[in-house]
Amino acid sequence: MPDRLALTSVEGRIDAAARRLLASAPTSGARARLVEFGVFVLKQAWACVFGAAFLVVVVAAKLWYPDDAALARNDALTIAAILIQVAMIAGRLETLRELRVVVLFHLVGTVMELFKTDVGSWAYAADGVLRVGGVPLYSGFMYAAVGSYMVRVYRLFDLRFERYPRRWLTAIVAVLIYVNFFTHHWIVDLRWVLIAAVVLLWARTRMHFRFFRGTFRMPLLLAFAGVAVFIWLAENIATFAGAWVYPSQVGGWHPVDASKLTSWFLLMIVSVVLVTWVYPPRPPDRSATADLSEQDNEMEDPSSDRYARPS
Q: Does residue 142 sit within a domain? A: yes
Q: How far apart are the first and last CA of the chain?
A: 18
Looking only at the bridges linking them, the beta strands covering 206-210 and 131-132 are: unpaired
Q: Using 50, 70 and 90 to split pLDDT, how confident is the model at 8?
A: confident
Domain that holds residue 109: 4-299
The pTM for the full model equals: 0.84
Paired strand residues for 61: none
Stretch 3-24: mean pLDDT: 74
Does the pLDDT value for residue 299 go beyond 80?
Answer: no
Q: Does residue 304 sit within a domain? A: no
> What's the gap between Cα 107 and its chain centre?
17
| pLDDT tens by residue, 250-273 | 989 999 999 999 999 999 899 999
Size (the chain), residues: 311
Q: Does residue 138 sit within a domain? A: yes
Q: Does residue 226 sit within a domain? A: yes
Does the pLDDT value for residue 95 go beyond 60?
Answer: yes
Orientation angle between helical segments 260-276 and 191-202, nearest 10 degrees: 50
Stretch 171-188: mean pLDDT: 96
Q: Does residue 113 sit within a domain? A: yes
Q: Does residue 307 sit within a domain? A: no
d(CA 304, CA 86): 50
Torsion angles phi and psi, residue 208, rounded to 5: -100, 135
Does the pLDDT value for residue 1 go beyond 90?
Answer: no
Q: Using 50, 70 and 90 to split pLDDT, how confident is the model at 309?
A: very low
Q: Does residue 264 sit within a domain? A: yes
Q: Does residue 306 sit within a domain? A: no
Collapsing DSSP to helix, strand or coil, 207 comes out as strand
Q: Using 50, 70 and 90 to split pLDDT, how confident is the model at 288?
A: low
How many domains in the chain?
1
Say what the pLDDT of residue 96 is.
80
Say what the pLDDT of residue 289 is.
53
Q: Please check whether residue 206 is in contact with residue 227, taking contact to mean a CB–CB distance below 8 angstroms.
A: no
| pLDDT tens by residue, 140-179 | 999 988 888 988 888 888 899 999 999 999 999 999 999 9
Mean predicted lDDT score pLDDT of the chain: 86
